[in-house]
A and B are shown apart, each in its own frame.
Chain A
Amino acid sequence: DTEVTQTPKHLVMGMTNKKSLKCEQHMGHRAMYWYKQKAKKPPELMFVYSYEKLSINESVPSRFSPECPNSSLLNLHLHALQPEDSALYLCASSQGIRDRFRSYEQYFGPGTRLTVT
């Protein structure tokens, strides 16, 4: 399996709902990422997990809560979102993070299109 998968493809939720986005990869990658992409804008990094530990949080509001239960799974828990949080949420993974000797390609999933009403 050489793909990053994301579920669901689409999600509509109210501002009081709690929902979760799921990302999965079986490529043995040890780094996983969440990005947010608004319409006609580039992806913006939200979180990075390296070896199942949160290594970067780009000052994301606490209504977004990431979780990495194991090396293949990455979740994004959503609670009390605002309409402006509506966007395409992309997950990515890479074999590792960049070190002195190697640079690792990030592989992206197809995204979950989230609409907050």
Chain B
Amino acid sequence: AQRVTQPEKLLSVFKGAPVELKCNYSYSGSPELFWYVQYSRQRLQLLLRHISRESIKGFTADLNKGETSFHLKKPFAQEEDSAMYYCALRKGAQKLVFGQGTRLTINP
């Protein structure tokens, strides 16, 4: 079954420290993975997708097919990074399957 696992419900780091939000997936085909972010009182929005191989707001994520992972990383956390982060897998042409989410808190 196609599944996305985010093992940490909560993650708290200090400003300036590195951040890594974990995401593991199970998918029988060629996966397409995304990170979505929801800041306080804002709508859910796409942060980045693996096929773009881009860095957004200092965040990067590399698809590791061997480890079936798509961890989100940032070398130096900023207070404005505090938010809810969802890893998502595209299933078929139209369906997104979301992980349970990780609430990231950046402490000053």
Chain B: interface secondary structure? loop
Q: Which residues of A contact B94 (CB under 8 A)?
A: 31, 33, 48, 50, 55-56, 97-98
A43-B44, A98-B32 known; A48 vs B95 contact (CB < 8 Å): yes
Residue from the set A41, A44, A103, A111 with the largest chain B CB neighbour count within 10 Å: A103
A90 close to B44 (CB less than 8 A): yes
| Chain A, residue nearest B46 (CB) | A105
Select B43's contact among A33, A98, A105, A108, beta carbons within 8 Å: A108
Cα(A107)–Cα(B96), bound, Å: 12
A41 close to B100 (CB less than 8 A): yes
Cα(A98)–Cα(B94), bound, Å: 6
The chain B residues found within 8 Å of chain A, CB to CB, are: 32, 42-46, 49, 51, 86, 90, 92-101
The chain A residues found within 8 Å of chain B, CB to CB, are: 4, 31, 33, 41-45, 48, 50, 55-56, 58, 90, 97-99, 103, 105-111
Please, could you name 16 A-B residue pairs with CB atoms under 8 Å apart, sorted by A? Answer: A4-B43, A33-B94, A41-B100, A43-B44, A43-B96, A55-B94, A56-B95, A90-B44, A97-B93, A97-B94, A98-B94, A99-B93, A103-B49, A105-B46, A107-B45, A108-B45
